[in-house]
């Protein structure tokens, strides 16, 4: 269970929603305001946790409160529903767009499309899906506001919805997770090459990946662990470390996509197990591999920089 108080979590949420140039001043103002309002409640005998919860509940949704402090307009939907609209829109885009891209990739490949056709279909589909998601989400909130809905269920905000604050230091669990991932991937790669899978010792990956590409992949895995170790020792992500992590991911993804679309990843003996359906299976696996690689690139390129910004 988190040890961060409602006040700390609220201040952190407000700080993320205000311009960096005014952040220190606004944070100090919000902290002082909360402390001034909490003190009388403590003197009245209320527990600190209960008192802080009551105060931040009175202040309201942190993005809306931050906007009131900085005079930033929130009129696309209206101040009442803007924060809820933005939160729902972000979640829908994060869920819908990747699945739309994967679906159109598989469909285009099954129809015999080449690499150019796949890329073109992905771009068009993602743009169309994004426009539809944004339009229909906005329309729903427009109707809610104009019909006087109170939004007594999913739209109500309360202090328990505050995000947990993150320690400035990188969590040891992140480093452990990176090491475990590297060991599993590197071990699986080596196992496939030297032992194989099942009673028949089937090799999933093509032997031509060794030694150049395989060793290069293992080196990149090792460097990823090194970056994670430096982050842990340094106590936080920096722009340089985030960039290094993104570069390592980009190298893996570029070579991975190149080898995948050149049909140099899967072993012929493995595909032969599927008989007449091996061509279809190969196409589906290429689409799946591509989606996974692109997901790795997006995660590695975005998440560390988000942590730098939050830090």
Out of 41-50, 148-157, 190-199, least confident range: 148-157
Percent share of the chain, pLDDT over 70: 83
**290, 257 contact by CB (below 8 A):** yes
pLDDT tens figures, 85-138: 777 788 788 778 887 777 777 667 666 666 677 778 888 888 888 888 888 888
The predicted pLDDT at position 230 comes to 87
The predicted pLDDT at position 163 comes to 62
The predicted pLDDT at position 145 comes to 66
The predicted pLDDT at position 143 comes to 74
Percent share of the chain, pLDDT over 90: 3
Tell me the average pLDDT across 276-296. 83
**259, 212 contact by CB (below 8 A):** no
pLDDT tens figures, 214-233: 899 899 989 998 988 888 78
* Terminal Cα distance for the chain, rounded: 22
For the cut 70, the answer to whether the pLDDT of residue 292 exceeds it is yes
Q: What's the whole-model pTM score?
A: 0.50
**301, 250 contact by CB (below 8 A):** yes
Phi, psi of 17 (to 5 degrees): -105, 5
For the cut 60, the answer to whether the pLDDT of residue 76 exceeds it is no
Between CA 159 and CA 177 the distance in angstroms is: 31
Q: Which residue has the higher pLDDT, 164 or 197?
A: 197
């Amino acid at each position: 269970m988190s040890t961060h108080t409602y006040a700390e979590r609220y201040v952190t949420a407000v700080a993320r929603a205000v311009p960096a140039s005014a952040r220190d001043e606004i944070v100090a103002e919000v902290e002082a305001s909360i402390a001034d309002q909490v003190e009388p409640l403590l003197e009245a005998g209320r527990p600190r946790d209960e008192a802080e919860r009551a105060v931040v509940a009175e202040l309201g949704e942190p993005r809306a409160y931050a906007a009131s402090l900085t005079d930033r307009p929130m009129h696309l939907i209206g101040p009442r529903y803007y924060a809820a609209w933005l939160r729902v829109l972000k979640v829908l885009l994060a869920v819908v767009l990747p699945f739309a891209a994967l679906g159109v990739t598989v469909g285009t490949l099954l129809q015999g499309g080449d690499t150019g056709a796949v890329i073109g279909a992905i771009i068009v589909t993602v743009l169309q899906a994004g426009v539809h998601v944004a339009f229909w989400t906005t329309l729903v909130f427009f109707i809610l506001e104009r019909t006087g809905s109170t939004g007594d269920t999913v739209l109500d905000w309360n202090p328990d919805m505050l995000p947990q604050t993150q320690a400035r230091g990188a969590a040891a669990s992140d480093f452990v997770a990176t090491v475990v991932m590297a060991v599993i991937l590197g071990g699986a790669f080596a196992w496939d090459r030297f032992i194989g899978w099942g009673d028949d010792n089937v090799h999933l990956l093509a032997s031509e990946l060794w030694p150049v590409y395989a060793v290069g992949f293992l080196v990149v895995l090792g460097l990823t662990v090194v970056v994670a170790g430096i982050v842990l020792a340094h106590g936080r992500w920096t722009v340089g470390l985030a960039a290094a992590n993104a570069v390592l991911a980009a190298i893996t993804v570029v070579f991975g996509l190149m080898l995948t679309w050149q049909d140099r990843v899967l072993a012929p003996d493995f595909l032969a197990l599927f008989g007449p359906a091996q061509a279809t299976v190969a196409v589906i696996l290429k689409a799946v591999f591509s989606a996974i690689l692109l997901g790795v690139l997006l995660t590695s390129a975005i998440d560390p920089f988000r942590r730098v910004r939050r830090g």
